[in-house]
Structure 1
């Protein structure tokens, strides 16, 4: 077999460099079948490449960042498919097939699609309803093909925006690997000069009112446009976004299955700006009845001087949960952490409280490409997704 493989590889390589890709693929297929390779055919300088099938164009929706990718529903790029469809192919020839696939996907009648390392789509969207309107960004991973997938709504902190928050949390990378959609509502300077979500305003805390209604409306708009598993819709946020996420979890337990709160406060912890500043400085209990609290995961740095760590403990206390066990460890980058796992009244583990030692007001394990991140800590984004994955909304 080796006596056939080596000449076959040399011949396929020569044909590829000459632009005769169809003939190169034929040589590779013959080698895999154990057939003798045809005698090398001379290549005249400047001779035209073998004719190829016409490229079928794929319409792509507008994307902003990162670069455009294939539209949802497009089949995988043939670069991988050709090689994977030839079992037993030696690695050298497998690489050559991938190169041919990248250069001429239409050889096997497949659509021209990007290489598998390219990311999904980051789309611009806009929502408007009686409660108000907001822009939002939506990440759609390449693996989405119209099947029912989870949705995570991510609420940025003050002075941030969707692009900054996506870069800092790295949630899009996880969505790409795990195949779920991520929506990033954008607060406006007109609504809050620092672009904070108005978590402390009673007009924006409750169901069907203000910003709570707008964000819930964005989640429902995504559910209408895409195929979303209604039992796997989640909300998470940082700082003001974390407090807003707590308000949403209390107001819409029929929409969201679980909530992630990073450096945030209890639902209804404040009712105006003075009480908000006091709650951030001293810690505050929630004024909104929690009832049967949604599964909740909390992250907070113990050196947070913007939102006191007592607020993280207050979020968990408001659930009425019972401690099951405490754990501790150190992140790969050196931050020590403590995790408390707590149960509801039925004894089910439904709450987690992470305290990151030495960390301030920042997303634990975040990317320095975004603001308010602590790359040294454990990965809050991955832990939140792990927690969300474990807690779909119960079937009725």
Structure 2
């Protein structure tokens, strides 16, 4: 079923909008926060008689025509003049503050809605509630590098993409060298440009002499530009989004000097869930996969199960994963992620671990404590094969939310505190 045809704004968000319109900002913020954390109050927040924290109107009542006629004849007392003067001062102060910045409660509400809507499936379109981010900021690129815009026509239709070609690519071609390719799948509400800026992957492409392709999910496929990871038609080889992503990947490999054995795919959130699907449906195409704040394969098969999976973990059969081909994987997830529960990251790792152990012997499992330069602590689980090559890594980031670790604040949904997920992914991909 295609849920993109419906607009199912959650009831609590509708209620929050009504509270905001009536000036009850604190209640609106509390309502959203409670629903995001799962603490829903039993009381009716729209009951005006039971709440004593309503914002009071400091603007004097406007007199009727009859009142105006009366007030022309009667001179105001000194007390009335004092009250009027105080009311005017309060009104001017309120207007001044409102023109400069949103009240803290509204700003907090807006920020939480931005984070909340990052991974909502198509039916949960709440983009009209919060101020949208500018996700089409063109990244700065060095001289002789290119960030091409393209439209790829496949069996699944036409889709846009961006392709980053580093400035040293020509040198590789002149030396008859083949370069690696990384496919980067953005999260909901994001764009290729925003994702490139936030992950700083283009800068690493310059350092490691590789191509980066950023497929673009159009709003026509999903109102929030999410990859439809929760639909059965987009979880299989040969159809839907996996089919066109595979065709795009093959096309770049064919048209450029790309080493077919060094093609990788990574994503954030909904993009990470789709990256997992690509590794499952086209394991021969990708040498490794990077999963940041994503979900396991077939965690959900419709909209209700997708919402449940995001908040409590999916219902995928982890034992069945043993029969699938293992693709080396590096996983990042914050233990304070309230958009996609860390339970999902654990399921991604368990699914991959089941495959790895079924297909390889002599594995060495290690656990390390890590700390970034900004003192962001992580626990790293690493499984190496008998040759000492890392096959599966899981970075559990303590205190981190639903953001790309170590990313640039110029992009959306990033956490500059690290660890540097982009750098670690490239290290994992290329050291094989």
Question: When the two structures are superposed, what TM-score results if normalisation uses the length of structure 2?
Answer: 0.62
2:277 — aligned with what?
Answer: 247
Q: Determine the C-alpha separation between the residues in 1 that align with 2:254 and 2:387.
A: 34
In structure 2, C-alpha distance between the alignment counterparts of 1:351 and 1:221, rounded to whole Å: 28
Shift of 1:133: 2.3
Which of 197, 204, 216 in structure 1 is aligned with 2:227?
197
The equivalent residue for 2:307 is 277
- The Cα offsets for residues 66-104 of structure 1, whole Å up to 9 and x where unpaired, read as 578xxxxxxxxxxxxxxxxxxxxxxxxxxxxxxxxxxxx
2:375 to 334, 337, 354: 334
Q: How much has 1:348 moved relative to structure 2?
A: 5.6
Where does 1:133-212 land on structure 2 (aligned, <5 Å)? 133-145=158-170, 146=173, 147-212=177-242
CA contact (8 A) 1:260 1:297 kept: yes
Q: Which residue of 2 aligns with 1:372?
A: 413
* Alpha-carbon shift at residue 269 of structure 1 (Å): 1.1
Alpha-carbon distance change, 365 to 381 in structure 1, aligned in 2, over 3 angstroms: same
Report deviation, 1:323: 6.2
Q: Deviations over 1:134-163 (max 9, x none)?
A: 100000001112231000000000000000
- Conservation of the 8 A alpha-carbon contact between 1:235 and 1:258: yes
Structure 2 SS opposite 1:173: helix
Equivalence for 2:30: none
Residue matched to 2:329:
296
- Provide the C-alpha distance between the structure 2 equivalents of 1:123 and 1:207, rounded to a whole number of angstroms: 28
Q: Which runs of 5+ in 1 are unaligned?
A: 1-63, 69-116, 392-396
**Distance apart, 1:165 and its partner CA:** 0.3
Alignment of 1:30-109 (within 5 A): 65=138
Matched with 2:132 is none
> Out of 132, 152, 168, which is 1:127 matched to?
152
Q: Indicate how the Cα distance of structure 1 residues 330 and 224 shifts in structure 2: closer, same or farther if over 3 A, else same.
A: same
Question: Measured at CA, do residues 347 and 304 of structure 1 come closer, stay the same or move farther in structure 2, by a change above 3 Å?
Answer: same
Distance 2:144 2:397 in 1: 31
For 1:360 and 1:352, the matched residues in 2 are separated by 19
Q: Distance in 2 between matches of 1:339 and 1:156?
A: 24
User: For residue 54 of structure 2, what is the aligned residue in structure 1?
Assistant: none
Corresponding residue for residue 356 of structure 1: 397
**8 Å contact 2:364–2:386 — kept in the other structure?**
no
The one-character-per-residue Cα deviations of 1:12-64 (angstroms, maximum 9, x if unpaired) are: xxxxxxxxxxxxxxxxxxxxxxxxxxxxxxxxxxxxxxxxxxxxxxxxxxxx9
Q: Indicate the SS of the match to 1:261.
A: strand
Match of 1:310 in 2: 343
The question of whether the paired residues in 2 share the 8 Å contact of 1:238 and 1:263 is answered with yes
* Alpha-carbon separation, structure 2, partners of 1:344 and 1:267: 23
Cα separation, partners in 2 of 1:271 and 1:346, compared to 1, 3 Å:
farther
In structure 2, C-alpha distance between the alignment counterparts of 1:246 and 1:67, rounded to whole Å: 30
Are residues 1:389 and 2:422 paired? Answer: no
Checking the alignment, whether the CA contact within 8 Å between 1:125 and 1:135 is kept in structure 2 is yes
Q: Give the aligned length.
A: 280
Question: 1:154–1:235: 8 Å Cα contact kept in structure 2?
Answer: yes
The secondary structure found in structure 1 opposite 2:417 is: coil
State how far apart, in whole Å, the 2-side matches of 1:131 and 1:388 are.
29
Select between 311-320 and 134-143 the one with higher mean Cα deviation. 311-320
Separation in 1 of the partners of 2:260 and 2:347?
29
Question: Does 1:229 pair with 2:259?
Answer: yes
Alpha-carbon separation, structure 1, partners of 2:321 and 2:347: 13
Tell me, in whole angstroms, the C-alpha distance in 2 between the residues paired with 1:307 and 1:379.
Answer: 20
Residue deviations 1:260-313 (CA, integer Å, cap 9, x gap): 000000111111111111111111253574623100000001100000001111
Partner residue, 1:49: none
